[in-house]
Amino acid sequence: MKIKILPVLLLFIFLLQSFNPSFANNAVCVLDEMTEVVQGTSLTISGNIQGAIYYVNITIKSPTNDVVFYDWTDVSEQGDFSRRVLIPKTWPVGEYTVIAGDGQCTATQKLVIIKNPLEEIMDSINQMTSVDELIPLLEETSPSRRAFEIININLAYYDNLSEAAKSYVRDAIFSIKDQLNSAKLEESCDILYSKYNEVIPYAVINYAADISEIQYGLDVFGKDFFGLDFSDEEREKFFSQYLFHNLTVSSVEDMKDKAQMSNIFYDLNHVDFVNMTKLFKTNYNKIGLSDNSFYEFYKGLSTKNCEEVNKLVVLALFQKPVYKTDDFVKIFENAVDNIKAKLNNDSSKGGASGGGGRGSTKTVVKTDEVIIPTPVIPDLTDLLPKAHHFTDIDETPWAKEAISALAEQNIISKAEKFRPSDFILREEFVKILMATLKISPDETQSSFEDVGQGEWYTPYIATGEKLGLINGLDERTFGVGKYITRQEMAVLIFRCIKHLGISLDGVHEVIEFEDSDLFADYAVEAIKEMQKFGIITGKDNYRFDPLGNCTRAETAVVAYRLLKNMTEIVIKN
């Protein structure tokens, strides 16, 4: 009987070796890599072993090579295994060794146990005696930044701040030190997260060095934090308000109020005299006219006299836009004083009579027009924006001053690029010309067949057409999409100047252009006038190049020259 059992046993061992490669020393064990693990948390040890029948042993050794964990886990049919292990807070920080195997083969991996970075950062803050001790914790190279990342604090905002803004943020964090000290870990994390995200928007906005940083702040925090949902137009108005003044906000409501005021002041600086009365009625309580005796007097004036006040206000705002309520009130009261003086003069039949109010200015009265005193046009180089920079205007240094000045005056859009070498379209030039002359586009329909309703350029062309300022290529077409020629530009400017009664200053030596035979009959006078006043000058070799197209840089220079040379406006009643 024993003789029969032995062959069976030998056969079983043979078959076992055939189906289990580990018996043939062919077992393979792989242990997955492990990341750092925090004290008091858990990790999953996983891998794959080929050759083990039922289970795999898992061992963890401490930095001093002591066994701190030993257990086994099942192996799947495919050889995969996985075991979740709790890392006690009592295990010291350091580098541990994880071993997995079945006796025939083993695999090892390094495991680094670290202190909870949240506890570490909270302990560090609680032990601080000076706010300056926060500086190294927040540096980009600081290992403590891991704790901030864990609780979703985005320190990239902090990294991009000025030193003054960073100091403001650190002061805010240091101010909650006692709260962090008395709270449990989870609660203290919430407190730190809330405080950081509460002060960062104000740090970005209030300490912005230029308009581009304000734009960045509003892009990131405008809608979600301050609740501002700007349209493109409202956004442009807001930024124009703060070109010269630092934007400082103290609360969400304060920001919303400033956004509203930026729209109002933008409209004040750009409205025409006809619509100004309506603007006063709508916003009198926000622009300093509530309980204002001058405004009460103004409301009692006839429509004609109100418009005369409005004209003086428009002229003053043309000379220098206002951005504060007090500055506007002074302009408004001076304009009312002026009309008071005029009415007193009329009532005394031409006898000299002072208006008695502050800032009174005499107005020369004729039978059919009021000549508004000559404005002092400011040196626009002093008004160049220090914030907005076109990235492509260095290629035309001779036009940089003009381009920047027009951008500051909101005559051209503040985009990333200006494209100075591109030719300008007829409709684009009309928009720039009307903005330069402070003409508000208020028409929506043009008689030109190629000016579609609802297009961005339609109000400018339609308004210019209604006022008799512009003409088309023929009676039916304006020439939308076509580049404007130099003689067409001269004609459009000349027509506007004549119609609006604008006087230009400075007479240049008259040049007889060599290519005058190319001038269109309708353009001869306009070209001579534009050259005489230095608005559109000639090219090399005494050529005007009437049929040549104008680049955007050349157009900016022309508009800037026009803006600087306007010295007196006669507004007809």
pLDDT in tens, 422-433: 999 999 999 999
Q: What is the DSSP letter of 456?
A: T
Compare 244 and 195 and report the one with higher pLDDT: 195
pLDDT of residue 349: 54
* Count of CB atoms situated within 10 Å of the CB of 372: 21
* 258-268 confidence digits (pLDDT tens): 888 888 888 88
Q: Is 291 helix (H, G, I), strand (E, B) or coil?
A: coil
Compare 496 and 355 and report the one with higher pLDDT: 496
pLDDT of residue 388: 59
Share of the chain above pLDDT 70, in %: 84
What does the longest C-alpha to C-alpha distance in the chain come to? 151
The answer to whether the CB of 268 falls within 8 A of the CB of 248 is: no
Q: Which residues of 12-23 are buried (b: 16+ CB within 10 A; e: fewer)?
A: eeeeeeeeeebe
pLDDT of residue 196: 93
Joined tokens for residue 81: 């295994």
Strands (E) located in 115-252? none
Q: Which residues lie across from 70 on neighbouring strands?
A: 59
Provide the pairing of β-strand 106-114 with 94-101.
Answer: antiparallel
Going by C-alpha positions, the residue among 139, 156, 144 that lies closest to residue 118 is: 144
pLDDT of residue 380: 35
Q: Which residues lie across from 46 on neighbouring strands?
A: 82
CA 527 to chain centre: 41
The answer to whether the CB of 166 falls within 8 A of the CB of 131 is: no
pLDDT of residue 13: 43
What is the model's pTM?
0.47
Sequence-separated (6 or more) residues with CB below 8 Å from residue 421: 395, 396, 551, 552, 553
Going by C-alpha positions, the residue among 150, 112, 147, 149 that lies closest to residue 34 is: 112
pLDDT bucket at 57, cuts 50 / 70 / 90: very high
Q: Is 278 helix (H, G, I), strand (E, B) or coil?
A: helix
Q: Which fold has domain 21-114?
A: Immunoglobulin-like (2.60.40)
Sequence-separated (6 or more) residues with CB below 8 Å from residue 133: 124
Q: H or E element: which one contains 86?
A: strand 80-86
Can you tell me which residue has the tokens 């109000």?
Answer: 459
Asked whether residue 94 carries a pLDDT value surpassing 50, the answer given is yes
pLDDT bucket at 366, cuts 50 / 70 / 90: very low
What is the C-alpha radius of gyration for the chain, rounded to an integer number of angstroms? 39
Compare 4 and 502 and report the one with higher pLDDT: 502
Q: CA quadruple 255, 258, 260, 266: dihedral positive or negative?
A: negative
Joined tokens for residue 300: 């009692």
Asked whether residue 20 carries a pLDDT value surpassing 70, the answer given is no
Asked whether residue 383 carries a pLDDT value surpassing 70, the answer given is no
* 172-212 confidence digits (pLDDT tens): 999 999 998 888 888 888 899 999 999 999 999 888 877 67
Determine the average pLDDT of the residues in 391-400. 88
Q: Is 288 helix (H, G, I), strand (E, B) or coil?
A: coil
pLDDT bucket at 465, cuts 50 / 70 / 90: confident
pLDDT of residue 65: 94
Asked whether residue 171 carries a pLDDT value surpassing 90, the answer given is yes
The domain locations on the chain are 21-114, 118-253, 271-371, 380-572
Asked whether residue 287 carries a pLDDT value surpassing 60, the answer given is yes
* 295-318 confidence digits (pLDDT tens): 999 999 998 889 889 888 888 887
Going by C-alpha positions, the residue among 176, 179, 181, 194 that lies closest to residue 131 is: 176
The answer to whether the CB of 131 falls within 8 A of the CB of 174 is: yes
The answer to whether the CB of 496 falls within 8 A of the CB of 433 is: yes
